[in-house]
Amino acid sequence: METTPKKLSYDTEDILDAFALKRGVDGCELLDTWLAYQTNFSAVEEQVLETKRVALKREGEFWNEEELKMQFIAFLFDIAAINEPDKFKLFYERPLSAVLDGYDLSVICDAMVATPKGIGKPKKPYFFLQEFKKQKNAPDAEGQLLTAMLLAQNENGNDLPVYGCYLQGKHWTFATLHNKNYCVSSSYDATQKPDLYQIVYALRHLKQLILNLTNH
């Protein structure tokens, strides 16, 4: 008799236990290499970043998720120039689902970078961003991100890493998943200029990392 897959919530600890994952916060070479990158910004880019930083600091607490995405996040992706023609691009609000190890997993990805299937559909995902505007009583943003990363690992069917980031209000936390090794960074406060620059550095470096993966 076929066993009905179990539903798994977005609780991070439940997901770690179900898939026997290790969660690292220090000494994670893959994550450390990603976040060690730095670059320069043009005067125009610095001006845009400062304008958006100030707006986030003044108004961000009052934005809903769509306003945060359109008035702030989209500009960071634009400055990072994340899309690579005919190789990968940014997608928003795309579903992923599968049965993994007897668990029924599904998630709506707030944003993902993936190779396209044709023109308008994601094929192989490499990076996810999950966003929750309200920090009080918010769903488990990390659990939702980890669900997406596990689904991507399954979808891609290879031994390559998956990258991610989850937002809770102004705070950004980066993550990597490679085999059973899951690592998370300290959080970056996007209203603080050094942290904001580090966020965009990471997004720019992500493009090169994904280029390396797509050449495998």
Give the rounded percent of residues in the chain with a pLDDT score beyond 70.
95
One-letter amino acid for residue 104 of the chain:
D
pLDDT at 13: 93
Backbone angles phi, psi at 113, to 5 degrees: -105, 125
* Secondary structure letter of residue 90 according to DSSP: E
**What domains can be seen in the chain, in order of their start residue?**
6-214 (3.90.1570)
pLDDT at 119 (0 to 100):
74
Task: Extract the runs of DSSP E, i.e. beta strands, from the chain.
Answer: 6-7, 22-24, 89-100, 103-117, 121-132, 162-168, 171-178, 181-189
Distance from C-alpha of 97 to C-alpha of 148, rounded to nearest angstrom: 9
Query: Which comes out higher in pLDDT, residue 1 or 194?
Result: 194
User: How large a percentage of the chain has pLDDT more than 90?
Assistant: 71
Q: Is the pLDDT of residue 120 over 90?
A: no
The pLDDT of residue 1: 45
Does the structure show a pLDDT above 80 at 122?
yes
**Whole-number pLDDT of residue 26:** 83
Which pLDDT value is given to residue 138? 57
Q: What does DSSP say about strands 103-117 and 89-100: parallel, antiparallel, or unpaired?
A: antiparallel
Given a cut of 90, is residue 176 above it in pLDDT? yes
168 three-state secondary structure = strand
User: Is the predicted pLDDT of residue 137 greater than 70, yes or no?
Assistant: no
Q: Which region among 101-110, 118-127, 163-172 has the lowest average model confidence (pLDDT)? A: 118-127
Q: Whole-prediction pTM value?
A: 0.93
